[in-house]
Amino acid sequence: MSDTKNTPGSGWTATRVAWLVVLLSLAVIAALPTWQNVFDLATRSAEYSHMMLVVPVALLLLWQRRERLAGVPLAATATGALVALLGVAMDFVGFATQVDIVKDTGMVVMLLGAIVTVTGWAWVVRAAPALAALAFLIPVPGRVRQRIALPLQEASATITEHIMDFFGVPIARLGNVLQINGVDVAVAEACNGMRMVVALGLVAYAFAFSMPLRPWARVVILASSPLVALLANVLRLGPNVLFYGYTSEETAKFAHDVSGWLVLLVALGVLWGSVALARWLELPIEPARPNAR
């Protein structure tokens, strides 16, 4: 494909779409073992189940920007191949050195290279918020997970203990373990902290970039996502502890699984409420031009 620039009216022709499908397929094939690992994590591990939402979120953000993207002239460029080769190199180095974060990042870089090759840099820059969502496909390294999850779990257990005490529910805590009605409930068992942080981070990201907000408002929303995760953790942990303590194990596990997704809706409601409050306070959170995103 040459570096010649297409006219704005050429748009997404059947040929261009075909090229994109072919190059994206080649990018996936080139990093197939990494993609298989990501798929296994997303379907088998609760900590990585948020990965199932990444592609829908990216497509949603692209759809919301369709009018702005329609005005960007598409220009095939060979520099996209260099980006893809960088991703291949990262994948190779990651496997050779056993550094997962490098090969996992290389997987996403290959996709970016395929997209750049077909669309050109101007389109990619305009679509950056949607394409950046693909970074959530990169598994968080184990050491990072532990450093985030353990303090969050301990804080959630402490807050839940105080709430239960306030309402007169007999409960005891030892580290991250809450004892209720003679049953020991590990916080990681009832509500995994890292799952909430990453999943709610994705929800906060989708919310921030799907709303017409000023850049500083988006930064505030993203920066506050750990606090929203903590709140969601506590809201989920309290009822789960009661289920584990006073119902059957099967009922408790069912409530645990269902609450994991319901909490995402609660977090989304918290974000909506925060924006509504900011508007009520007449804070300048929206851009001067209504159509700007």
* For the chain, domain boundaries: 14-139, 143-280
**What per-residue confidence (pLDDT) applies to 292?**
44
**What per-residue confidence (pLDDT) applies to 185?**
79
* This prediction's pTM: 0.78
**156 contact partners, CB below 8 Å, separation of at least 6:** 187, 191, 193, 230, 233, 234, 237
Average pLDDT across each block of 10 residues of the chain; the chain has 293 residues. List them in order.
46 90 95 93 82 92 91 90 95 90 95 95 94 92 74 81 86 81 70 67 90 90 84 82 84 79 81 88 77 47
**What per-residue confidence (pLDDT) applies to 89?**
96
**What per-residue confidence (pLDDT) applies to 2?**
43
DSSP letter string over the chain?
Answer: ---PPPPTTT-S-HHHHHHHHHHHHHHHHHTHHHHHHHHHHHHH-GGGGGGGGHHHHHHHHHHHTHHHHHTSPP---THHHHHHHHHHHHHHHHHHHT-HHHHHHHHHHHHHHHHHHHH-HHHHHHTHHHHHGGGGGSPPPHHHHHHHHHHHHHHHHHHHHHHHHHTT---EEETTEEEETTEEEEHHHH--HHHHHHHHHHHHHHHHHHS---HHHHHHHHHTHHHHHHHHHHHHHHHHHHHHHHS-HHHHHHHHHHHHHHHHHHHHHHHHHHHHHHHHTT---S-SSTT--
**What per-residue confidence (pLDDT) applies to 187?**
67
**What per-residue confidence (pLDDT) applies to 5?**
46
